[in-house]
């Protein structure tokens, strides 16, 4: 399958709204995966034809299915602003197990941040910040809390079942602000949060991970897009049972 950048460039040459090209490509990739048209073959992700998929399933092609797949890339939704924002409104805070230097957790956090999270945020004009990279003088604990409570977006990595991550995620849930959850596919999601969408990333082996890298970034981008589009509709375990509860704070 062509790279996401190639597909975006191709769409920009059409009459489609330029600001919707990235979202359109993400939607196309995820729909192709859902329909079984995007498969890992010979070490890379490849698109198969609708006819091929239906033939394998023992069904004849139908115009409604073929046409719906064919026009996925032509459908654009509301425009997303990529204008640079001020202060915490310009920040995506990355809650993740960090660990000591050279530890597995640190390598995991660095890898996800560089090759999955950062590419997924490219179109949104958000600066990705991790606790150990805040870079301001002062108390680190206070700065982390400020980012959890005020950042426009939080991405929480539940991998390794790190207690600090779950503590910080709980505080974020109480704010009812946009949050996206990811986890290694090999790990279970605790009962209290397993009813909320969590993107599972298979890191079991390099050969299975690399071909799906583009799909993972598209899936995260799609979740981010939805979360930012309607921040007031954000759900969490807390809002489910106490819909009127929301943390507020004063800087004074």
More confident residue, 54 or 83: 54
Which structure tokens are listed for 166?
């779950």
pLDDT for res 127: 94
Burial class of residue 32, CB neighbours in 10 A (0-12, 13-18, 19+): buried
Of the listed ranges 70-74, 114-118, 168-172, the least confidently predicted one is 70-74
pLDDT for res 151: 95
pLDDT for res 20: 86
Mean pLDDT of 126-134: 92
Interaxial angle between packed helices 140-150 and 163-175, expressed in degrees from 0 to 180 and rounded to the nearest 10:
40
Tell me the domains of the chain and their CATH numbers. Answer: 4-74 (no CATH), 87-241 (3.40.50.10140)
Mean pLDDT of 112-136: 91
φ, ψ at 117 (rounded to 5°)? -70, -50
Burial class of residue 230, CB neighbours in 10 A (0-12, 13-18, 19+): exposed
Query: Helix, strand or coil for residue 31?
Result: helix
pTM of the complete model: 0.69
Mean pLDDT of 56-72: 40
Instruction: Give the angle 227-239-127 at the CA atoms, nearest 5°.
Output: 30
Residue 19 pLDDT > 50 = yes
pLDDT class for 69, splitting at 50, 70, 90?
A: very low
- Angstrom distance (rounded) from CA 176 to CA 167: 15
């Amino acid at each position: 399958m062509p790279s996401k950048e190639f597909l975006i460039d191709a769409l920009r040459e059409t009459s489609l709204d330029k600001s919707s090209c990235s979202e359109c490509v993400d939607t196309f990739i995820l729909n192709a995966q859902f329909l079984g048209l995007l498969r890992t073959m010979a070490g890379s992700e490849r698109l198969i034809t609708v006819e091929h998929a239906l033939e394998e399933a023992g069904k004849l092609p139908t115009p409604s299915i073929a046409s719906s797949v064919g026009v996925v890339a032509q459908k654009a939704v509301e425009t997303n602003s990529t204008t640079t924002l001020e202060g915490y409104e310009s920040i995506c805070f990355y809650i993740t197990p960090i660990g000591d230097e050279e530890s597995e957790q640190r390598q995991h956090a660095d890898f996800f941040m560089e090759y999955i999270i950062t590419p997924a945020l490219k179109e949104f004009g958000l600066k990705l910040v991790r606790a150990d990279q805040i870079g301001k003088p002062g108390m680190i604990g206070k700065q982390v809390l400020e980012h959890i409570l005020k950042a426009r977006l939080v991405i929480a990595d539940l991998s390794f079942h790190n207690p600090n991550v779950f503590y910080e995620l709980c505080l974020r849930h109480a704010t009812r602000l946009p949050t996206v959850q990811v986890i290694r596919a090999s790990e279970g999601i605790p009962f209290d949060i397993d009813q909320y969408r969590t993107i599972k990333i298979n890191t079991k082996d390099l050969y299975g991970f690399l071909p799906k890298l583009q799909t993972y970034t598209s899936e995260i981008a799609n979740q981010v897009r939805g979360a930012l589009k309607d921040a007031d509709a954000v759900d969490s375990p807390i809002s489910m049972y106490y819909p009127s509860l929301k943390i507020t704070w004063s800087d004074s």
